[in-house]
Amino acid sequence: MRRVMLILLASQIVMVSLAAQSQPAAPQGRGRGAQAAEPAPPAPPPGSPGTYKSGADLMAVLKKATETSPDMSTSAVSNTDQYRINVVRRGKAAGAIAHPGNTELHYIIDGAGTIVTGGTIVRPTGSNAATATIDQGVTRHVTKGDVIIIPPNTPHWYKDVEGSITYLEVRFVAPTK
């Protein structure tokens, strides 16, 4: 739990720094079917002591959200127009998606699954986004402790979930050079 809190703190510091350097662009929503039990606090102002949420509190919110949305639920850490920081739990695989303009980091807290990144999103004719797949992507098995960085506009897809997978999601607008 200490490691998760250190990663949360480091992620927030990085995101606040990046937000100050980047152009405004609203990160996309949590995704299809995601449920959060409570909204995230606003970003702390510069010079403030910052945002703190204990691992126990984050997991309690996630557990409550999972009761009403077992396929995908979230526990918000902090969400602004420059970044989104959430703990996400997936109880099953979901369709492929890409976030225009947003880089995303996933740190696997618990569980395992298969993620596909890159390639092209394929949506079957007459079907909804939940069935979208990826063609020509890179497939990786991920487990607790793994980190995935997904560049802006890059398709990604949790193709398989082994029981459930929980990860810290940090979505942000990265400055361009």
pLDDT > 90? residue 82: no
- Contact residues for 88 (Cβ-Cβ < 8 A; gap 6+): 30, 34, 72, 73, 74, 106, 166, 167, 168, 169
Share of the chain above pLDDT 70, in %: 74
What are φ and ψ of residue 49, in 5° steps? Answer: -70, -5
pTM of the full predicted structure? Answer: 0.77
In this predicted structure, which of 8-22, 26-40, 78-92 has the lowest mean pLDDT? 8-22
Give the number of other CB atoms < 10 A from CB of residue 111. Answer: 18
Both structure tokens of 119: 């390639």
DSSP E strands, the chain:
35-36, 72-79, 83-90, 103-117, 120-122, 133-135, 138-143, 147-150, 156-172
**Residue extents of the structural domains in the chain:** 2-172
Residue 152 has pLDDT above 80, yes or no: yes
Mean pLDDT of 36-48: 71
The mean pLDDT value of the chain amounts to: 82
pLDDT at 148: 98
Cβ 167 vs Cβ 152: under 8 Å: no
Q: Is the per-residue pLDDT at 87 higher than 70?
A: yes
pLDDT band at 62 (very low <50, low <70, confident <90, very high): very high
Q: What is the pLDDT of residue 35?
A: 47
Record: fold of 2-172: Jelly Rolls (2.60.120)
- Asked whether residue 27 carries a pLDDT value surpassing 70, the answer given is no
Query: Mean per-residue pLDDT for 61-67?
Result: 97
Q: How far is residue 15 from each of residues 41, 63, 115, measured CA to CA in Å?
A: 15, 26, 24
* The predicted structure's pLDDT at residue 3: 52
CA distance 37 to 140: 30
> Tell me, what's the pLDDT at 118?
98
